Structure formats: C-alpha cells, structure tokens
Amino acid sequence: MAIRHYVYAAGIAAGLSLLAACSDEVTEVTNVSEKATLDQVKKFKELPKCDEDADGSMVYVKDSAKVFVCIGGDWDRLNGKNGADGADGKDGKDGSDGKDGSGCTVKQNKKKTGFDLVCDGKKVGSIENGSDGKDGSDGEDGSGCTLKQNKKKGGYDIVCDGVTKGTVVDGDDGSDCVLKEGKNGQVDVKCGQKTTTLYKALCGSDSFDPETQFCVENKAYLKCHQTNEGLDEYLNDDGTYDVNEFFCDKIDLLLRLCGPQKMAYDYSKQFCSQYIPIDRCKEVAEGVDPDALYKNGMYSETTHFCHNGVLWKNCGGYAGTGYGGIWFNPDEQFCSSDGEDAQVADLCGKKKKAYDITDSMCVNGKVQYAKACCKPNGAGENWCEEDSHMYDVRTQFCDARDGHSYEFVEVVQKNIDNEVVYSETWMAQNLKYENSNGTRKTSCFDNDSRNCETYGRLYNWAAALESCPDGWRMPTKDDWAVIANLYTYYSIQGKPFNGDLRTGLENNTEFITERFSLWSSDENETDDRYAIAFGLYDEVLSVDGTWAEKSFKLAVRCIKKN
C-alpha cells in the first residue's frame, strides 16, 4: 500500500508535526500528547512484522535516515522528496493546477536525543523522546501516538493513548505551503487558501514551546537562565523552578513572588515591598528629602509613594513622619500639611490650586473662606470679634437664637444592593439652647452652667419638643433605633457622633459618668406620663428604648428636616 498525500501531526515533549506533502488538505490537530516516542532500528530489514498489532506505528531507520509507518500490512516511507517525476508520492505534481510543493524529512538531531522535522531546508520542529515528568519539571506523563487509516479511507486519524486527537485528509490539488512560527509553540501551516495551526506541545488545552517553557499542572511557565540576589540554588539546570515561590521575569531573571498573594511583577519597573509590587522612582518632588530615594529607584512605602516617576511623601501618619499615612494623586489632590492630622483634599479650579483647608474651601472652582460668625439675634457688631463665635460652615450650623454652633454629620444606611434606605443629618453635639417657660423647664447638670457648655442642657419632655432650632426636629424612636443598630457607643462617640453623650438625669452622678439618656418625640400610647428615651447602659446603646417620665430632664439632639 503506497501513500501519496498526507500530513501527520503528533505533539510530544518538544514535538510538532510530520508534514510529508505540503500540497495536501490540512486539518487542525489539537490536544495531542506531549511525550510520544518514535521507535528506531538500524536497518530496514530489522523492521518488525507489519501486522494488525503494529498498524499505524512509526519506526525510524538509521541507515537511511527515513521514517516508515505500518499501514495495511506494508511499511510505507514518510519522507517526501523534491522532484518532478511524480513517482513515489513526489511533491505537488499530481495536482491538477497546483504548484510544486516542498518535501519534509525527519533527521536525528545532533544530541541524538530525538529527531528534527525539516521542510524545504528549514527546521520547523523537533521530536524528543519523552521523559517521566512526574516531578513537575518536564510536565505531565507522555503517551504514544499512532497513525491509522480512517473508516472512509480518505485520510488518517491521529490516535494518542487510544483516543483520536485529529484527522489528516488526503489532498487533491498541489499548492505551495508556507510554515510560520507563532507564539507559545504554535506553527501556522498555510497551503493554498487553507491555514492550519500545529502545536509543538500542549499544556492542558494551551500550546507551549518546550524549548523556552515548561508545564506544571496544565499551565506553562517561562524557563529561566539567571537568578537574582543569590537564588542560584532554586534554579534547576534545565531552567525549571518552584512556580509556587518563584517566577521568571521578562528579562530572564529568576525572582521570588511578591507578598502574601505571591504576585509576579516587572523587575525593570517595580520592586517588591513588604506586601505588593510597587513602582520604582526616578526623582523626588519639591520639598521631599532626596535621601528618601534609595538606589535602583527604591524607597520605603510606609513613608513615601511614587507617582509618574516622582517620589512623594505620604499624607498624614504618625507624628508627622508619613508612616501610616495615605497615598494621593498629586495631579488632582494635595496634602493639607506635614502634621499627623493632615488630610487629602481636591485641588481647586482649572489651575489646580491648593489652599488652607483649616479655614478655606473650594466652591464652584474658586477658593472661599469657610468660616462665618454665629451671631445671635440682637447681638452687636463686636460679637464677631471673638474667635469662639466663628464656625465652619462645612461641618457646623449656627443657632441664631443664642449664637451657639453645633457639629453635624450625615448618617446613611444602605441595603445589600447598595441602595440608600436611611439618610438623615444629625446634630453631633447635645443641644445647649435654654428654653424654660412654665412647664417647659431646662437646667444644667448639678446646676453648674459649665456642665451645659460641656455636656449640653437637660430638658423635660415638654421643653425638648420645642427646643430644636428652625429647620430641625426631634428624632423619633425609629430614628434612634437605626442609630442603635448601626453603631456602638464608642463609634457614636467618634463617628457619626462626637462630643460627650454622658448626660442624663439631673443631679445623678451615675448618669453623668456611666450612662446617658436622650429624648425621642414618641410618647407612651397607654400612659401619657411617659415618653420614649434612648440611652447607654453598660456601654451598649439601647435598641428598643425605654419609658421615662416626662418630668425627667434628659439631653436632646436634633435631626435636620428634609
């Protein structure tokens, strides 16, 4: 049985395809085993019997440097020849309109460890005898591949480890074939109008080049040939390494993976900090100590950061050192100061102007003064000469009834879909307004006016209902329940509430030092002597509230009306 036109492909350790006649129709062959082997004998007469068991197997004959395949009881030669006589399956001339093809041969390589595939004088791939590979360096175990005529007898099936991996169909017309090396062990074969991709080897479902890569757990990694910082003992002679601890940079340098997340990075542009890869820097910003930039563009990420090649100092941090501070975008933001309490703010306007955030703000692209005088009704002009009568309009509001200003904060609650389900602006300090008239009575704890300034004034329920300034209201029990669910006492002390909440019953030391109670606008539906109050008991803010006699004197906080 003679073979005139065929293409055979089998991927092994570094194997590609055997292309006998480029004039043939080519079909894509994928998922071929990585480590098939090619048997060999010294002379043609030493070929074993070509029976049913040997059908499809391949043998390399050394004295003639040819490869033979057992098909239909005959050993047929795979090597194509350049010629024009058309005999013995010569290239291309049997086609009706095709051009001469280029022959492909298989030759033993110089190391005598396998065979090179040469088409038209160009080496397009290699067939290496497979090795064990169980240690992860050589990849997965190989399996043999054979060529068998398909049922339709119109071509041949590629069978590896008992599984058909692809089909080679006999061609009709001859045509020129072009072989082009691709990436990661791919070779594109174009014959006429048809292009087929062949693989030198497969790692999982992806191709790879065993000369430059190795396969571990179905993923290809670059082989490495040099190390950094005394890592020689971790690089194997064949260029492989422990991929769980190391990686090969694009400049062919073995490096440790960075941080707890084991991240690879570009060593030419980055270095590994304690946790993540960060950019190397080239120069320092104005005002930054030049000594903060070390050799090779490195620096301490706990105190500095790099932006577009320029080193900047972190904003804030402990004792003004920048340690523990935050990074920012110098193109759009600035750091308010060098101090521990420094803040990041947006640059203002088209000119990206910085400003003193302690008393200024940016409004519609212009820097404006952020302080105003909290002047009570009827007060003289001299009132505003006192610094204590000034307030910050960004974070405070002014009660013009008596000239007291109060911190405020917006409290927002969102559901699992990030939708706002509660949003209110609360006073962040207890109310100090004096509102005593008839049954509406207020006082200071222990009858000391200094306690009113420190803790706020105490109100009976009737006075509390009429105590909030214009535009503000008393919170309901539902408002307080949200706060109680969202925050513990300590977080209320800071955000969203600041100031001291430990105010409560008049002349009761326990309530001033350990507990606090604040009124809600809800009263007991069955007994009009009581109203609902919320308070802190054993450092836990009450969720449900408790009943308090309306004659009790408790603190008040107000909510801004919507």
Which of the four pLDDT bands, split at 50, 70 and 90, describes residue 113? low
Residues 435 and 414 in one domain: yes
Residues 229 and 311 in one domain: no
On whether residue 382 sits in a domain, the answer given is no
On whether residue 458 sits in a domain, the answer given is yes
Q: What is the DSSP letter of 309?
A: T
On whether residue 214 sits in a domain, the answer given is no
Task: Specify which of 19-33, 78-92, 408-422 reaches the highest per-range mean pLDDT.
Answer: 408-422
Residue in the structure block whose two tokens are 């499809």:
56
Residues 267 and 297 in one domain: no
Q: Which of 207, 235, 265 is the last residue of a domain?
A: 207
Residues 20 and 159 in one domain: yes
Residue-range definition of the domain harbouring residue 268 = 223-277
On whether residue 113 sits in a domain, the answer given is yes
On whether residue 376 sits in a domain, the answer given is no
Q: Of 81-95, 306-320, 373-387, give the lowest mean pLDDT range.
A: 81-95
Which has more confidence, 150 or 446? 446
Residues 199 and 246 in one domain: no
Task: Specify which of 89-98, 159-168, 377-386 reaches the highest per-range mean pLDDT.
Answer: 377-386
On whether residue 394 sits in a domain, the answer given is no
Question: What tens digit of pLDDT does each residue of 211-232 get?
Answer: 899 999 999 999 999 998 789 9
CA dist 463 and 458 (Å) reads 9
- Torsion, CA 218, CA 220, CA 223, CA 229, rounded to 10: -90
Is residue 449 classed as helix, strand or coil in its secondary structure? helix
Task: Specify which of 339-343, 490-494, 511-515 reaches the highest per-range mean pLDDT.
Answer: 339-343
Residues 438 and 450 in one domain: yes
Q: DSSP readout, 344-370?
A: EEE-BTTTTB---TTTEEEETTEEEE-
Residues 117 and 12 in one domain: yes
Residues 510 and 365 in one domain: no
pLDDT surpassing 50 at residue 330? yes
The total number of structural domains that make up the chain: 4
On whether residue 15 sits in a domain, the answer given is yes
Please give the model's pTM, rounded to 2 decimal places: 0.53
Which of the four pLDDT bands, split at 50, 70 and 90, describes residue 140? very low
Residues 146 and 62 in one domain: yes
Question: What tens digit of pLDDT does each residue of 270-313 get?
Answer: 999 888 999 999 999 999 999 999 989 999 998 999 999 999 99
Q: Which of 182, 207, 232 is the last residue of a domain?
A: 207
Residues 335 and 356 in one domain: yes
On whether residue 506 sits in a domain, the answer given is yes
Residue 460 tokens, joined: 């009976």
Which has more confidence, 307 or 57? 307
Q: Which of 314, 340, 369 is the last residue of a domain?
A: 369
Residues 519 and 414 in one domain: yes
Residues 45 and 188 in one domain: yes
pLDDT of residue 260: 92
Closest CA to 224 of 246, 209, 206: 246
pLDDT surpassing 80 at residue 93? no
